[in-house]
Amino acid sequence: MTTKPRICLQLNDGFAGVYAFSTLYDFLISRGFDAEYAFFSNGSRSLCRSFNSVVREATKKEIDRRKIINSSIKMQEWPDLVLTNYCDVRGELSELRNREVAIDVSVLKNCVTPVSEEKRKELQEKYKLPQDKPTVVIGFPRAPGFDNYLMGRYGEFLDFGSLKDVIDAIQKDTNIYFVGSVSDVVKSFVSSSGLTNVVNVIEAFGVLRDYYAMSDVAMISSNIKFSNNHLVHLHNFVEATAGGPLFLVSPLNTKQYGYKQLKQLGVIRESLHTAELIDQVKKYLQTPQGEQIRELRRQHLESSKEVYLNDLLRLFNRILNRSEQPFQSDLVANLCPYHPWLLFGKDYHPRLRIAHPDTKWKLFEGNMPAINLSEIPEQVYDKFRREK
């Protein structure tokens, strides 16, 4: 009797990572990738519970094979393969040192299952969103550590003058929502600016995705005015486009897979400055094309899912020695040994980073040269397959 491989999915990226890995998990199961699965979140049980909640909602049933793993367990001795994600915004939170494949998070986020029109209507009913005027959602994404500072957790990196200009320009024709990690500084801005009856403040963890899906127009709080501060990151633009177009002032770190594609489709609308952003939003609201925008986004996500999740599946099968032949892919990899001089030594723990060529994460580019997935040396696969 063949023993099932043990796969650990390590959650590194908040709720965005939960939805991305839920998509990956469901894809693997749908393709017959039979394994024993576990989930690890650097000591956070809440994300694991969120993962299970997301899957129950999608499948309408419990998945018995899932189990929550506590960080006290010695994971180095447990999995046959560890799947995690990485990006420059959050860095790598890995506590695992064995048989790890770190996937460019922008690839996973562009493979999520799009929200259907029926689900969108259900959400509008659930949250009792008024339909008398278009819904504008300005997101305040939550991020770890100092990045909370950047996204308006304390308000230092938000230009409240520009934010006020946007609200003043559209408030008569729209219902406006601030959603996410809305800090006390932002709340003070709302009240001191006389916007209490204009802006609906929704401070809740885990609902930003739903509000983006219900929106007719979306914005991200840190991208309403241009900033040349390299610390002001572009956060989950894929999630922000779930309901309507995302309007933003040109951010610095647009070299992520999906940004260029969604911009070319008109799903992302880029401006050079705040005044241009306001003009674009007002013009769009005169003739909104929500269903068309959502359909274009759906086609992009489905295409990405079919191509790149299949490529990852082929890679996992090769690692687990399931007779998968070498294959061509747009995705690239680099080998990230903890000790380069032990590349093929007995103490070497194999680790791969996978990326899309459009993505330019420093965590990827700063390591060994990128190679096509078809060029990964057979010795690397042997190291993944070795007995523990």
Tell me, what's the pLDDT at 311?
94
CA distance 300 to 76: 37
Per-position pLDDT tens, the chain of length 388: 457 888 887 776 666 667 777 888 889 989 988 888 777 665 455 555 555 555 555 444 444 334 444 333 444 456 788 888 887 765 444 444 567 898 998 999 999 989 999 999 999 999 999 999 999 999 987 654 434 444 444 344 678 999 999 999 999 999 999 998 888 888 999 999 999 999 999 988 779 999 999 999 999 998 998 877 655 667 789 999 999 999 999 887 788 999 999 999 999 999 999 999 999 999 999 999 999 999 999 999 999 999 999 999 999 999 888 766 778 899 999 876 544 434 444 555 677 889 999 998 876 665 567 888 888 888 888 877 765 5
Cβ contact 143:232 at 8 Å:
no
Nearest CA to 222 out of 234, 204, 208 is that of: 234
Nearest CA to 237 out of 265, 272, 200 is that of: 265
Tell me, what's the pLDDT at 41?
62
For 235, list phi and psi in degrees, rounded to 5: -85, -150
Tell me, what's the pLDDT at 172?
95
Tell me, what's the pLDDT at 364?
66
Q: What is the pTM of this model?
A: 0.85
Contacts of 168 (CB under 8 A, 6+ apart): none
Q: Which domains does the chain have, with CATH numbers?
A: 6-109+325-385 (3.40.50), 117-298 (3.40.50.2000)
